[in-house]
Amino acid sequence: MPEITLESLAARVAALEKILTEQKATQPGKRKDWRLSVGMFDDDPDFVREVIAEGQAIREAEREDARRGLTE
């Protein structure tokens, strides 16, 4: 395995930066933004209720584990 040097890491970072810059230039309006998901399920309130209920169940299970001292 070749030895990793500061110079080789700098070259790899520079290459990755170039790739990222090129990708951003070819996709100017394609930013991921969590705000695009707001209202995504307005037409399916049952699904939203299920998601909320599952999230609450997960949090409650984590609380119970914490109370019992079973946290990581």
Whether pLDDT at 71 is above 70: no
47-64 pLDDT, tens per residue?
999 999 999 999 999 999
Dist. CA 71–CA 56, nearest whole Å: 18
Tokens, residue 39: 């209202």
Averaged over 7-14, what is the pLDDT?
A: 95
Rounded to whole angstroms, the Cα distance separating 25 from 28 reads 6
